[in-house]
Each structure stands twice: as structure tokens, then as C-alpha cells.
Structure 1
Amino acid sequence: MRPRHPRRRVTLTATAATLLALSAAQTLAAAPTAGAAPAAPARSAHSPSATASAVTGAQDRAARAIARSLGDNAWRTRLRTAALKSDDVAVTPLAARANPGLASGLAAADHAIAAAKGLDGKVGPLLRLRLGDRSMRAALSAGSAPWVAAATSDDATHTVTAYDSQGRAHALDSRKAPGRPVYVVDIDSSKALTAGLDVLRKELVKDGVRSATPGAVNTTAAKRTAAASGGFWTTKVDAVELSDDEEPWVKGDAEIYTLVTGFGQDGAVRVDPVEMPYLDNDGTVYRPNQILVNWSNYKYNLADAVMMEEDGSTNYHDLAVAIADALLTITDQGAYIPLVDAVLNAIPTSWWTDDPDYVDSWYTLAQNNNGTYYGARGNGWMTVEPYWVSQF
């Protein structure tokens, strides 16, 4: 189970003041005053609740269709074999080979989910199927008839609706795994996140916020700096751990990513998304040796990091619009201004019910940081060190 975190919005300005003793220059409000451009009116976007509803609705339709398809003995056996063999079954391609009628409905659901999340249609099938809990394996192997449920996207809901092969709905307790096997229809969050962050980068750049592709040094000034010095300094994550939180059994995997923010070589704000796909389990120390910050992209030796969790319903186009609208009002004052609060306050309140999830944040990471640093929210820690990347 991947790390999960409470879904509630927090006031980060107060958190930062309590947890970090920042200098006067560093505690400038993220909503700028002197020298800042006037705040532009927020651009229209899809309703976050509508996006979540579209994704959940598509998953629920897929769950009902799969449940009804289990009346076919050959298909039921094939699906059971796949579910016992793999923790995640790409159900649309599997159905395309064995149950064309079902595959057509699943393909429509895949398309609806991609559209709701603002993803390119080329992302491919996103639906996957898994057994709700490992405790269900014995009953499934013994031939017990499974029900099918859609992964819930609302942590406040304590019931899960599962369907049987007759299409009848059954209410299950989301806090306790049932004895009966239940297939859960979920989204391939790893594939969705990779495609989503690509959309996020492209939309940020289109809206005037610089953003590098993974590992890239993409500004002229940064290239000159790196070339002149024969390489560039980075901040490397040696170890990272996130804290434990209880989650419903029906919840599936989620993907962690970090938005690194700061001022680019040109003095304009920039956001560099960093995927952290190895963060599979809470309470586990991971040692990824992953580059988090490429300092050749930044004007100052300080940057912020906002760690987030993809949970299924994010519209990445709208997320980029919201972040760009907030950050483009902030101008370079000749001293570093933390951008964490601006990023978090840009996200509509309704998104904080579940998606996207705020995990933790690190204010004013410095180029020379070397050691263990706890997040402002207390949900995690990272051990980092300066790391020199030499050019060929």
C-alpha cells in the first residue's frame, strides 16, 4: 500500500512560522505586495468536483460492466487467474482478447477518464483491476464468486458499493475488508502521473512559467553556467520516509511527486515536477539517490519543494492553470521569496477533499544542505546532500 495522508487543507503560513525560523527576508508573504504584479482574475477551468465525478462515474460503470460479465464461466476463470497472478491487471486489453463486448465499454470508460484528467488520448488504457486485499486470495482461489467495486475517491466515505454478477449493489464497510473476494477497479496511477506531469510541464510553459523536462537544463543562462563550470550542482535525495496513516482497504496505489519551485536564471518563477515512483510504502526508508534540484536552473541558492500525491481525479491542465495564475503575480525582489504557500493556495479548496493530496513541504532548501530535514507538515523527512554532476 502506498503512503496516504489526511485530506484537509492547512494554513501553511502559520505552519512555516511555527516550524521554521526563517530570516526576515525569507518570511516575506507568498502573496506579494511591493514589486508584485497585480493579481490577475482566475481563469475558468473545469469544476474540480465535476472532474472527480466524471472519473468516479467512469470507474463505477466499468465495475458494473465487469461484474455482469462474470456470468461467463470462461471469462470469470480467465480474470481470476490474472488477478491471482498479478497485483494489477490491465483489464481493458485482457477483455479485448476474451470479451469484445466488455472491452468496448471499458475502452469508453478509459477515454472518459483520460478526458476528465486533461490527458492526451495517446495515454492508452488507464483502467486496472486488482484484488481488494491479500486476505481475499484464499477465497478467490477456492472458487468463491467475487463482487466488483470501484475504488472510492473520497476518504470521508465509510461504505463501498460492490456489484455482483446480476448487477445488484451491495454496501461494504470500507474500513474492514470483507471475507468475500472483491475485485477493485482503479486507475493506473503511475501511467496517469507520468502523462499528467508531461501535460503540467507543457501547460506551465505555455502559460509563462518555466519548467524543465526531467534532468534537463533548458534555459540559455543555465546552459552557459553549466558549460562554463564543466558541470552543475544538484541536491540529491539519499534517503526519504513518509509517515503512516490508516486508509480504506479499497484504496489503491497512488504516486508521489514533488513540485520544486524557485526563481530561474532569468528571475522569473519556475516549477520543476519530479516523479518519486519508488515511494511505495509509508513507514519505510527509501534510499533512491535521486536528484531533486538542478541548481543550474535557478538564480538563487534556495528553492522550495512541495510533495504531492496523485490519487486519481486530478485534471493536470487545470492544475497548471491554477499554479501559473498564482505564481505569475510574484516577481523577483532581489532576495529569495518562498513559494510554497503560493502553490498550495492556488489549488481550489474543493480539490482538498481527496485530490490532489498535499503530503509535505520543505521551505528554503539550500544548495549546501547536507543532512536530514523534516517537512513543515511533519509527514516526512529527507536526507539530502550536494552532488556535483560533471559534463562529458
Structure 2
Amino acid sequence: MAALATVTALALTTGTAVAAPSNPDSASASEAQAVERKAPLPSEVFTVTDRLAEQVAGALADKAVRERAVAATAAGEADLTAFASGTALDRSVRAANQDVLAAKALPANGGSLLRLRLADPSTRAALAHGEVPLVAAAPTDDEPAPIAAYDPLGGKVSLDPAKAPRRPVLVVDVDVAKALPLGLQVTRDALAARGLVAAKPSGAQVKAAGGYWATKVNAVRLNNDEEPWIKGDAEIFSVVGGFGLDGKATVTVVQMPYLDNDGTTYYPNQLLVHYLGYKYNLADVVMMEDDGDTNYLALAQAIATALLTIIDAGAYIPLVNAILSAMPDSWWTDDPDYVDSWYTLATTSSGRLNGARGNGWMDVSPYWVPEF
């Protein structure tokens, strides 16, 4: 899970800036690459992983490959590219990984994003004792629908989306923890190319101001992170928007990697909003979740479309509705999930703030960031 605020200030004050790609592209290069490769629609990620799950199931008919899968997933999950290396799956997995990178508008050199993991840890003993697992792709739609799983012994099995089966299930999906930092950098580059640059207080500005106020998240809890049993941990990010000192709408994206599970209270002490660069000392937060299908360039384009039409009228205008209304209809099922939103956070915001959707809350307090 995640939230959004000024990325530079977040790095300077918390040391937890979102990682950039190993070879980050410029905004124009990222967009040109996505156009040149004709990135498929978000739903194609599942098409790729579902086809690959069937191929993995076929390979697991070989006992030696099956034992290799048991060993690889013993600790929880395995890089599917590394697992397939030296096997008949190698070429298929590498091709599938490139297709997923394209579908998510990520650089072609973004590395291996596909993983193989055991869906339910309680079935690990059965798997270790030789029970033949099913193989399924994590769906990219949270709507309750049967999950298609493939049997290495032949055939296709329909699984209940609400209840994990007793038989071990190996899942082929996107490692969003790897993809999200790469994707958020693509999003930031694309937003910056459209003039939606987040306020970035420099050390000189902070020193000149003698410091500034921020909103610190002391605790946060979500009632529902929109994840069925087969999907594993959530990956949350937030879009924080407000008006810059020039009166133009500004937005940034921040990752909250600790928000793994719903029904759990986390105590991050994370600085969420940095007000030095905001005209009205006010900001909005839209919290969302990436389920593996997010096309980050399309996300940036949707946000830009919403915010570039907003004009400063001399008083603060909440930006949450504009951001949400710009999202394509398909994103309300799973790409990405809307988790909750918080309107008009201020330098004085304190105590428990319930989300507008009623799906979560944050305990916040003002925090003075001293000059550095």
C-alpha cells in the first residue's frame, strides 16, 4: 500500500524514497518506448500469466521438475525466470516476462517480474510429501468468479474464489513489489512531462523557511484491501494532490510497502504530506492498490487529464473527485483498485481520520521538519 507526497522531501526526511529503475528512462523515452512497443491493454497481463500457468502445470508432470518447484517455493515464492532456467520452460517464461513488461508500460530492461508461489502456506506440508499441486494464474479482477487452475496430471479445475482448497495451489503472477517502484517512476516521469511536477523543497528553501510542517501517519488500518486468497499481499500506493505555489495543480505518488494485509494496524511514522510547496497548505490523498495489471503510463495520463483542466480560483478545491472521475471504468474492478481517499489534509490535521469510503483510517499528527 502507499500514499503520496513530495518524493524529494520524503527521501530527505525519512530516507525511504521509492527506488528508481536501475536504468531509469526519461519521461519522453518511457512514453516513446510504450508507444513503439504498442503496449497491450491491462487485461492482457492475465492472458499472459494464465497461458504460462498452463505451461508450468504441464512441466510439473515431470517429477523432477515438480520436486524443483517444491524446493523453490519452500520459502514462500520463487523468481519464475530463475526457476525455469535450464528447463523447457525457459523460453516461454522469458517471452511472457517481456509481454508483461510491455503491458505495464515498463522498460524492456525492467528485469524479471514473474514469480511462482504457494497460495496457501498451510498446504506446504502436503506439497512436500508429494501431493501434486494445481497451478493457477492470479486473476486481475476481484469480482467473485471461479478461479481456473491447471492439473499437471491433465485437465482444468474450477476453484472457489472465496475459500482456498486443501490441495496445494502454485500461483503464477506478477511480483508487484518489484514492479511498483519501476512503475511509479514511469508515472512520475510522465506527470512531470505534462507539467504536473510535485513540489520539491530544496535544502536551501527549507533553510530559508527555517523548516516546514508535514503530516505524519502514526497508524493506519484498512478494512478491506480488495485481495482474494489467491493474490497474496496487497501493494498500496497513494496519489497526493494539491496546488503548488504557482497555483497549478500538483501531484506526486508515494509507496507504502508495509501495508500488506487488511484488518491489521500498522505504525509507520511516515511523513505523508509536505506542505512547504503547497499554496494553501492543504492536500488530498487517494489511496489505491496495484493488483499486477496496472499500466503506469495510462495511469499518469488519466491523472494528468483530470488535473490539467483545474484552475486555481483563489480558494482550495479538493482534487479527489477529479482524480477518481478520470480513471477508466475497467480500473474499478482491479486495475488498480480504489482503496479509500482523504479530503483536505492540513498542517493542523491531527487524530484519527476516517477515509471517505469508510474502508480505512489513519491516525495523523502535525510534524515539524527542521532545516537541514
Task: Identify the TM-score tier after normalising by the shorter chain.
Answer: 0.7 to 0.9
Question: Per-residue CA shift, 1:19-71, capped at 9, x if unaligned?
Answer: xxxxxxxxxxxxxxxxxxxxxxxxxx9xxx96232100110121112111113
Letter in 2 for 1:255: E
The 5 A counterparts of 1:127-138 are: 127-138=114-125
Percent of aligned pairs sharing the same letter: 54
Question: Per-residue CA shift, 1:251-284, capped at 9, x if unaligned?
Answer: 2322011111000111111111111110112111
- Aligned to 2:50, the other structure's residue is in SS state helix
- Aligned to 1:52, the other structure's residue is in SS state coil
Shift of 1:200: 0.7
Q: Distance in 2 between matches of 1:227 and 1:352?
A: 43
1:253 match: 233
Q: Distance in 2 between matches of 1:252 and 1:169?
A: 22
Question: Per-residue CA shift, 1:327-374, capped at 9, x if unaligned?
Answer: 101111111110000000010112212221111111000111121111
Residues 175 and 247, structure 1, Cα contact 8 Å, conserved in 2: no
Do residues 155 (structure 1) and 135 (structure 2) align? no
Q: Distance in 2 between matches of 1:133 and 1:368?
A: 44
Q: Please identify, of 287-296 and 69-78, the stretch whose mean Cα deviation from structure 2 is larger.
A: 69-78
The 5 A counterparts of 1:103-252 are: 103-166=90-153, 168-211=155-198, 216-217=200-201, 225-244=205-224, 247-252=227-232
Shift of 1:181: 1.1
Give the total of aligned pairs: 338
Residues 234 and 261, structure 2, Cα contact 8 Å, conserved in 1: no
- Aligned to 2:78, the other structure's residue is in SS state coil
Residues 132 and 184, structure 1, Cα contact 8 Å, conserved in 2: yes
The 5 A counterparts of 1:1-392 are: 51-84=41-74, 86-96=75-85, 98-99=86-87, 101-166=88-153, 168-211=155-198, 216-217=200-201, 225-244=205-224, 247-392=227-372
- Aligned to 1:250, the other structure's residue is in SS state helix
Shift of 1:95: 1.7
- Aligned to 1:334, the other structure's residue is in SS state coil
Q: Distance in 2 between matches of 1:60 and 1:287?
A: 37
Q: Distance in 1 between matches of 2:309 and 2:112?
A: 38
Residues 225 and 261, structure 2, Cα contact 8 Å, conserved in 1: no
Q: Distance in 2 between matches of 1:245 and 1:258?
A: 13
Letter in 2 for 1:66: V
Q: Distance in 2 between matches of 1:55 and 1:244?
A: 24
CA-based RMSD of the aligned residues comes to 2.2
Letter in 2 for 1:67: A
2:28 match: none
Alpha carbons of structure 1 residues 119 and 245: separation in structure 2 relative to 1, 3 Å: closer
Question: Per-residue CA shift, 1:168-206, capped at 9, x if unaligned?
Answer: 322222222222211011111111111111111000111
Residues 63 and 163, structure 1, Cα contact 8 Å, conserved in 2: yes
Residues 51 and 314, structure 1, Cα contact 8 Å, conserved in 2: no
Residues 55 and 116, structure 1, Cα contact 8 Å, conserved in 2: yes
Residues 227 and 233, structure 2, Cα contact 8 Å, conserved in 1: no
Question: Per-residue CA shift, 1:88-126, capped at 9, x if unaligned?
Answer: 211112221x42x31211111111111011111222111
Q: Distance in 1 between matches of 2:279 and 2:328?
A: 29
- 5+ long unaligned stretches in structure 2: 3-34
Residues 151 and 252, structure 1, Cα contact 8 Å, conserved in 2: no
Q: Distance in 1 between matches of 2:211 and 2:168?
A: 55
Q: Distance in 1 between matches of 2:125 and 2:305?
A: 52
TM-score, length of structure 1 as denominator length: 0.81
- Aligned to 1:145, the other structure's residue is in SS state coil
Alpha carbons of structure 1 residues 171 and 359: separation in structure 2 relative to 1, 3 Å: same
Residues 189 and 253, structure 1, Cα contact 8 Å, conserved in 2: no
Letter in 1 for 2:128: S
TM-score, length of structure 2 as denominator length: 0.86
Shift of 1:236: 0.9
Shift of 1:299: 1.1
Alpha carbons of structure 1 residues 54 and 325: separation in structure 2 relative to 1, 3 Å: same
Residues 235 and 385, structure 1, Cα contact 8 Å, conserved in 2: yes
Q: Distance in 1 between matches of 2:290 and 2:307?
A: 21
Residues 56 and 150, structure 1, Cα contact 8 Å, conserved in 2: yes
Residues 225 and 339, structure 2, Cα contact 8 Å, conserved in 1: no
Q: Distance in 2 between matches of 1:78 and 1:174?
A: 27
